[in-house]
Every structure is written in C-alpha cells, then in structure tokens.
Amino acid sequence: MIKEPETLILVGFMGAGKTTVGQEIARQHHSQFVDIDSEIERIVQQSIPELFRSRGEAGFRQIESEVLASLQTFKGIVATGGGVVERMENLEILKQSAATVIYLHGNLESTINRLLIEGQRPLLQEKSTADFFNLWQLRDPKYKMIANFTVETVGKTPERIAAEIIALFSTNEDELALLQLRSEIDAFDRQIFQIIERRMQVVTAVAHYKAQFGMATIQKERMRNMRTLLKYDFEQSEDITDEMIDQIMTILTSSAIAKENKQLKR
C-alpha cells in the first residue's frame, strides 16, 4: 500500500481546479489546505492582478518560488499556480520535494471555458486561444515530469476528483496503474456523454429549422450516407467495427428523431 503523504501538492494548468479540488480533499480528509496564490496575496498585501501590474510576471514568479520553497514541509494540501513550472528553480524544488505531487490533467477546451467564466486571470486577458494552446503544449510535459501521479479531471466533479486522489493512498502498489487507467477511461466516458449532450442541443436547432421550412423529420438518405462515411473512416480500425457503428448510430438517430418530433409538437 502506498504511504499516505504528509504534504500533497497539486499542479496543473490554470483553471484545472487545483484550489477547488485541494479544498475538497482537505474537507474529505480533514487536512489543512493552502493556496499559493492566496499566500502570495497575504504576504505582499496585493491581489495577483495588482502584483502583475506593479512588478510584472518576473516579480510575481520570484515571490512564487519563495513561497513554494517555504511550503515543502506544510502538513496538508498545497494548490500551486498554473505557471509554477515556468521557472527551472521551481521544477528543481518539486523534483526534490518529499511531498507527493499530483497533476490534475484536463483538456484545453474545458480549461478555456472555465477561465472565461471566471474572467479574473491576468494571462487570460493577454493571450489568444492560439497562445493558450502553445502554452499548454509547453507546460504539459513539465507537469508530467515532476508529478508522482496524474489524475484525469474532464467531466468529473471536484468531489469525485478528490475521492480518487484520496483512494490512491489506500491502494496496493500493484493495483495503482490499473486505478489510474480506470480514471482515464472514466474521463473519456464523460467526454463522450458531454458530446452527446451537445449533439442533442444541436438537434433542437435542426428541429426548429425543419419546422420553419416544412422539411421531413427523417432523412433516410443522409443517415445512410453518414453510416457509410463512418465505416469508410474506420475500416482499418480493429476496435470500431461496422456493427458498432450501426448500433451507436441507431441509438443516436432514434434519440434525435424522438427529440425532433417532440419539438415539432410544441
């Protein structure tokens, strides 16, 4: 069984939910919690945006390194900032740390959506989506390099993520790899259902369009063509068979037709 760490450090891209998840781990595990950004604000008596404006990113990063080093013996949960991996000094601190480092891994789409909702990140106001993509590609391998474990976060509640992290330390070492793979599968499953949900939202728009122009709900030729194209696209796949495509498309089209008919009756 993996030894439970005295210090647990959460890393990941901005908007990954490190603070929320860290607070939830502390709540479930009855531990202390500290957020590095909040600690910096307490020390300098400025908000993070104010600090960026007054001292620039370089000034902020220097203070961040000092706070990170001071928290290596903190008995509890530490949430870092997304850019903590930007400085080599911080990477060395984390690589040599006696703490256990957890990488909260999401995807760029869900991260940007969350940042747009929050709207308070200094870098968000300065960078385009392309900039974020490049930043993501630069930081992702650094998070992986210094993390002891990676936990997938897409589609999961903070409560679920926290419970998975706590479960890591009640798992036998020979089962740990399996636990992490299952976590990844769970994340993929949630992404699939999130896509289906968005698909059904588009179906509603399609129903309105068809009603406006008096079009038939069922368009068999288009549906046949879609199945044919999918089978062509995946003909080399050992896992995506023609039978699977037929089964999944039957479920999706039946659900879409039922939703369209319901919309048209309103």
pLDDT at 211: 72
Tokens for 155? 């589609």
Provide the phi-psi class of 169: left if phi over 0, else alpha when psi is between -120 and 50, else beta.
alpha
pTM for the structure as a whole: 0.68
pLDDT at 237: 93
Cα–Cα distance for residue pair 12/150, rounded to 1 Å = 10
pLDDT at 265: 67
DSSP assignment of 40-91? HHHHHTS-HHHHHHHHHHHHHHHHHHHHHHHTTT-SEEEEPPGGGGGSHHHH
pLDDT digits (tens, 9 = 90+) for 192-223: 887 888 888 888 887 777 777 677 667 778 88
Contact 8, 76 (CB under 8 A): yes
Q: Is 193 helix (H, G, I), strand (E, B) or coil?
A: helix
157, pLDDT greater than 60? yes
pLDDT at 230: 92
113, pLDDT greater than 70? no
Strands (E), the chain: 7-11, 32-35, 76-79, 100-105, 149-152
